[in-house]
Amino acid sequence: MGAWAENRGPGAFGAHGGRWERWERWERRRLPWASTLLLAVFVLVGTAFAARGQHSQRLPLDNYARLLLLAGPALLLFRHRRPVVAVFGVSAIALVYFAAGYPYGPIFLTVGVACYAAIAAGHRRAAWWAVGSLWLGHLLIAHWLYRWLPPPHDRAAPWGQELVIAAFVVALCAASELVRVRREQWAREGAERRAAEKRRQDEERLRIARELHDVLAHSISVINVQAGVGLALLDSDPEQARTALTTIKAASKEALGEVRQVLDTLRTPGDAPRAPAPGLDRLPELVEQAAGAGLTVEIVRDGRRIALPPGTDLAAFRIIQEALTNVVRHSGSRTARVRLGYAPGLLELLIDDAGPATGGDAGGSGNGLVGMRERAAALGGTIEAGPGPVGGFRVRATLPLPGPGLPPEEPV
């Protein structure tokens, strides 16, 4: 079950969130050499082209300028591991580059990449502070400090240029925020899908555990009773002992068949079962098995019988089976009465025995009533178990039924 559930785990459904998280972990473990080298080449070549039209306004590129242009991409190598350091460092390098009077160019691109990496990593405030400080620093340089900074005889930059730069900064941060929000949404959706998958796997485990419990508890109770009868009568009444052994063989064969059917759903998940799930049409077999354990069962039906949905049919059968198993194990009574009441939108099951309780240890896990309640609750029904109105013990189950969409069967 564990291997099957693991193979159908969160990675199996191809969610954006799962793939994105795996990509993020891989990105954090490696340095982005290829993209950073490509960016460095683009910044150097692009700035060289941009400098051709700025000879009269800015200083020509020299080795110090090229060193500054390469320092930014060098810091970007650590943008996944240290995004805050990268965004502040790249912004400071760009500010020094502009203060030195070198030509404008694609150095802005390194700031954009660092800003995006910081915001995508969740360091929004650091990214906004770094880019905002760069813009304010550029304002000071372009409108006040230019008198004392190279190039000589520089003039104040037009305010229209500052508006363009401000619009670029805002657009850059807004785009980074949108990407961050989308990534968080993918991660949240992936977490929700994984939680839903885990709940589905847990529900499947509980369903299989209930099926195995109900099948084995009933059959082994019958086998236990008949084995005791066979041992007691082996010498004095060999024919009766033979009958007990025949009952044991039939009960064990039935249990093996149902266990195999449950296990088939593990080996081939999603396939249709090879045999139909048991339902109330198998009550005669259940009565016969109970008779083999020395319990006489009376079946009474009230109301107009209708065809039940498969899940309700199976739950009703298992609840009756578990209730009769408990009578065999824990009651001194050798008779039980099962009443099936069909009402509009409701199926009521009453299983009564006359008692008294034996008070002995009859084996079992003690999960029978829990399993019955889980089956009923899964269908929106309820289970009540306790002393009966005239002694003994009573199990009362109510299971909701669908509306009048299903055709009624003949009156019973």
CA–chain centroid gap for 96, Å, is 50
- For residue 348, what pLDDT is reported? 93
**Is 403 found in the same domain as 298?**
yes
pTM of the model: 0.47
If asked whether residues 184 and 303 sit together in one domain, one would say no
Number of domains in the chain: 2
Residues of the domain holding 138: 2-195
E strand residue ranges, 180-331 = 296-302
Run of H or E residues at 264: helix 238-267
| Residue at which a domain ends, from 167, 195, 223 | 195
Question: pLDDT for 123-163, tens place per residue?
Answer: 989 998 998 898 889 888 888 887 788 887 777 777 777 78
| φ and ψ of 359, to 5 deg | 80, 0
- Of 135, 160, 195, the residue that ends a domain is 195
| Structural domain includes residue 209 | no
Query: Which of these three, 195, 228, 261, is where a domain ends?
Result: 195
Residues 166 and 308 in one domain: no
In a domain, 271, yes or no: no
pLDDT value at 4 more than 70: no
* Structure-model confidence comparison of residues 180 and 102, the more confident one: 102
CA distances from 79 to 19, 29, 31, 84, 87 (A): 21, 12, 9, 8, 8
Taking only the tens place, the pLDDT of each residue in 69-79 is 999 999 999 99
34 and 170, same domain (yes or no): yes
Judge whether 99 lies within some domain.
yes
Most confident of 251-265, 320-334, 387-401: 387-401
Q: Say if residue 165 is in the same domain as residue 300.
A: no
Same domain, 284 and 189: no
Query: Do 33 and 180 share a structural domain?
Result: yes
Which of 31-35, 143-147, 257-261, 360-364: highest mean pLDDT? Answer: 31-35
Pairing mode, if any, of strands 335-343 and 296-302?
parallel
The answer to whether residue 222 sits within a structural domain is: no
Do residue 291 and residue 178 come from a single domain?
no
Question: Span 85-98, mean pLDDT?
Answer: 94
Handedness of CA 350, 355, 359, 361 (dihedral sign): negative
Cα distances from 166 to residues 72, 77, 94, 161, 173, in angstroms, run: 21, 26, 15, 9, 11
Q: The domain that contains 367 carries what CATH number? A: 3.30.565.10
**Which of 6-20, 171-185, 214-228 is least confident?**
6-20
- Measure the CA–CA gap between 305 and 237, rounded to whole angstroms: 44
Strand intervals (E) in 247-405: 296-302, 335-343, 346-353, 382-387, 393-400
Judgement on whether residues 78 and 177 belong to the same structural domain of the protein: yes
pLDDT confidence band for 391 (50 / 70 / 90): confident
Given pLDDT bands bounded at 50, 70 and 90, which one contains residue 406? very low
Q: Do the domain assignments include residue 229?
A: no
Q: Calculate the average pLDDT of the chain.
A: 79
Structural domain includes residue 367: yes
Same domain, 169 and 287: no
pLDDT for residue 399 is more than 90: yes
